[in-house]
Homo-oligomer: A and B are copies of this chain.
Amino acid sequence: MVRVGIYGATGYTGFELIKLLVRHPEVELVFATARSDAGKQLCDIFPTMLQTPLVAVEQADLAAVDLVFTCLPHNAPELVPLVQQALAAGKRVIDFSDTFRLRDPDDYERRRGWPHPSPELLAIAVYGLPELHRAQIRQAHLVANTGCYPLTAIVPLWPLVQADLFADTTVIVDSKSGISGAGRALALKTHFGETHETFSAYNIGRTHRHLGEMEQETGLHIIFSPHLLPVYRGILSTIYINLKPETTLEQARAAYGCYRDEPFLRLLPAGQLPELRLVQQSMYLAMGIQPVAGDPGRFIIVSALDNLLKGASGQAVQSMNIMFGLDETLGLG
């Protein structure tokens, strides 16, 4: 049994993570922390029958676990100290924030505008994308769980990069996300009255904070436009690429052979595109690719995943399974 703890269990990813861990046959959930809700049970704050107790960080018994998940907001001041403390105690860590996702501290500084708070952790962190970095995740002490938007771009673009098919390395990623991606913190942008029955773009171009991951993992130059959908879960990205003019659909599809044995990645049959319903409540990342008729080399990819599962909490459990030598799909069925 892997004994785990969660720091920050009262966000949407924390809630999904608990639901996965409680059913996981090889996991014992030792603690789950909350700030203002410490002392309550999970069922007091979420619609669930689960009575998982929520404790203050000070009550969390770090010594009793093998691994901690840190599910804190990106900018929580306690994040880096908690990670350092856990690593110092010999525990392994899977972090949900974007703090440790960029390998290069200079890249971090250039993109954010300030130096990385703990470059020594960056040096040991592994980007938690099993399909690209499985071997390193197995050994990792610190895994930087992937961003949900980036995954919808990296997974379908990476094989085409590997196959050296790009004619133009500038790529347009037009993404549409359900509102759970914006988190559970109170804000007008997640108020029902401001999000229901509407649709909007935000942080378009090259301004979204998770652009860096996409470019780091693919080596491409990416124009990224996120949009907010009036649905709860799921991201669908429509990706516009220019491959070498002679590239056939068969060649493009063949590049995805590298994912042949991946349990959670699916290239749909030619002519099919995923929709959100196909992947909601599942670990699948589904992709379709189509040529633009009459425009040699131009293709459109549509990819989709559940941002809370493959895009966050399920992805973390997949990494945990790898780190502890378990069947990679355990508890994720």
Residues of A in contact with B (beta carbons under 8 Å apart): 12, 23, 47-49, 170, 172, 174, 176, 179-180, 184, 186-188, 190-202, 204-207, 223, 225, 227, 229-232, 234, 236, 238, 240, 266, 273, 275-278, 280-282, 284, 290-295, 298, 300, 302, 333
Contacts and interface: CB of A to CB of B under 8 A. Distances in A.
B193 A225 contact: no
A122 to B, nearest CB: 24
Contact of A190 (B193, B234, B302): B193
Contacts of A48: 278
27 contacts: A12-B193, A47-B278, A170-B295, A179-B196, A190-B192, A190-B193, A192-B192, A192-B196, A192-B230, A193-B232, A197-B231, A197-B232, A199-B234, A199-B275, A200-B276, A201-B275, A204-B238, A204-B273, A204-B300, A205-B291, A205-B292, A205-B300, A206-B295, A223-B240, A223-B300, A227-B238, A230-B230
A184 B186 CA distance: 12
Contacts of A238: 174, 201, 204, 225, 227
Nearest to A48: B278
A280 B281 CA distance: 12
B199 A196 contact: no
A193 B229 CA distance: 12
Contacts of A278: 47-49
Nearest to A12: B193
Contact of A199 (B190, B198, B231, B298): B231
Contacts of A200: 236, 273, 275-276
Contact of A277 (B172, B198, B202, B204): B198
Contacts of A205: 290-293, 295, 300
